[in-house]
Structure 1
């Protein structure tokens, strides 16, 4: 069963709350919030999720995606487990290596690039999974991460899934080997024509690791406008959106879609939840 959510920009508390409550009331599955702490106009993503989680009832939250270069893995696991407990199981963890190394360095974080970013992400995933599973002290003597006996807790209410944002072949290989799901960048950065090759990299890495490729979930961030024209992303009628997302689910194998409205966010969320999502589900039945 496909899942559907919206993206909330972490810049205005009142707008974020209005959108979160609208998504919650409309029965959408999840809310994604980008994590760029070096942007002075942005709120802290994890703190905002805690705030919104306390004021909603059903919808899940996922950082889309949390910056591993600024959020050490053991501490991030602690935050993820805490959010899972506080929201009664409504938190998924999305992580990435960090998109802007110079900005990360400006905050004192390691400006990982290339092979270093890939290796650090793989090490972080090992720590995250061990800590979130909370089966005993976590240790890792890695090249980029050293954890010397972290005792994890609190225990989450469920197995918190760890999604990884990636588009290069080496990081996609890490997704296939270690992650619960792939978070694709926006459709304007990874257009549909480029998706099958990336899915193949994930599948091959999963098979090499002895995993079933079908166990790795796939999320597409989709920017665009419903019932309007836009130069950016997907635009067209609700029926066009529904048929497109259904095609992308069947042909590109995405099981989760996060809608990034270009403008008129509250109205666009309503159209997405009322006119697009039910039709996609009907087409996929």
Structure 2
């Protein structure tokens, strides 16, 4: 049983199609209205049929007052780390500390499109190296008191003035599936965000072990990494036969089990595009999941759960 005792967060991963810009903004408004915690956008800057993720997140931040906004996940090969650092800091400032940075190395099947749009071509090992360098650069530009110089294999900075400074300590969330990338999550990341269609629930335990071992090896604690999950499912009558295929009550039971057994504490509806679906998730699933988890945690007082290790990415 692995419960890292983080507070629960619920949200959605929205898609930003260019022909439905206002609909996406309205969905973000709805998410805040119904009490969800975080709205996120996928990032595919090589697809012209998509709006720019960062620009759309800025619009969402300007329209809302409470909900956290984040890319899920920003495409590093087409968004250099120095630019990402300043964009993220700007979004955090204008949202009064409501921005989190999700970051990905680039999907292997998209490299032709990335290269066609002016990005580099990297193999799996190079992608991990570049992502690690990017995290170091971004954090330095957010926090350094002096000019930043960096000599890496993939990125170089020469006496770059840092800033602007974010409004809060922005968490960096990484998408990861393979062992080397999972080890990077444990060593340097504030959050981890896989997707259930690509990493099913039965694979979470093994991935968590890799992250935890890497965190310990880096002198961190496993609780230093908040575990997120993009979840795909449907509401249906009857008991259903698989993951998130059934009633809201079944959803709540399965999500609570993910919290208590695998330490998942942030849930994003995967590619949500229906107001009714989002509202039902917010009003029926999220509260019921919170109740189940709170009851289990309160009944387990004999076993310490490390509840003091709350992450800096809490909202």
Do they fold alike, i.e. is TM over 0.5? yes
Deviations 1:205-238 (A, max 9, x none): 1111111111111100001222469999632110
| Distance across 2 between alignment mates of 1:273 and 1:29 | 10
Q: How does 1:197-208 map to 2 (within 5 A)?
A: 197-208=206-217
Partner residue, 1:253: 263
| Distance across 2 between alignment mates of 1:139 and 1:175 | 24
Partner residue, 2:125: 115
Q: What runs of 5+ residues in structure 2 fail to find an aligned partner? A: 1-6, 295-315
Deviations 1:153-195 (A, max 9, x none): 22111101111111111111111111111111x2111001111
| Distance across 2 between alignment mates of 1:104 and 1:62 | 21
Q: Does the CA-based 8 Å contact 1:23-1:269 persist in structure 2?
A: yes
Shift of 1:8: 1.0
Shift of 1:7: 1.3
Partner residue, 1:5: 11
1:281 aligns with 2:290: yes
1:69 aligns with 2:98: no
Q: How does 1:155-194 map to 2 (within 5 A)?
A: 155-184=165-194, 186-194=195-203
Q: What runs of 5+ residues in structure 1 fail to find an aligned partner? A: none
Shift of 1:123: 0.5
Q: Does the CA-based 8 Å contact 1:226-1:272 persist in structure 2?
A: no
TM-score relative to the length of structure 1: 0.95
Q: How does 1:90-105 map to 2 (within 5 A)?
A: 90-99=98-107, 100-105=110-115
When Rg is computed on C-alpha atoms for both structures, the one with the higher figure is: 2
Greater relative contact order (Cα < 8 A, sep 6+): 2
| Distance across 1 between alignment mates of 2:66 and 2:237 | 29
TM-score relative to the length of structure 2: 0.86
1:40 aligns with 2:48: yes
Q: Secondary structure at the match of 1:149?
A: strand
Give the alignment's Cα RMSD to 1 decimal.
Answer: 1.7
Q: Secondary structure at the match of 1:136?
A: coil
Stretch deviating more after TM superposition (61-70 or 135-144): 135-144
| Distance across 2 between alignment mates of 1:102 and 1:29 | 35
The runs of 4+ residues in structure 1 deviating greater than 3 Å are 227-233
Q: Does the CA-based 8 Å contact 1:134-1:155 persist in structure 2?
A: no
Q: Does the CA-based 8 Å contact 2:77-2:105 persist in structure 1?
A: yes
1:155 and 1:124, CA in 2 relative to 1: closer, same or farther beyond 3 A?
Answer: same
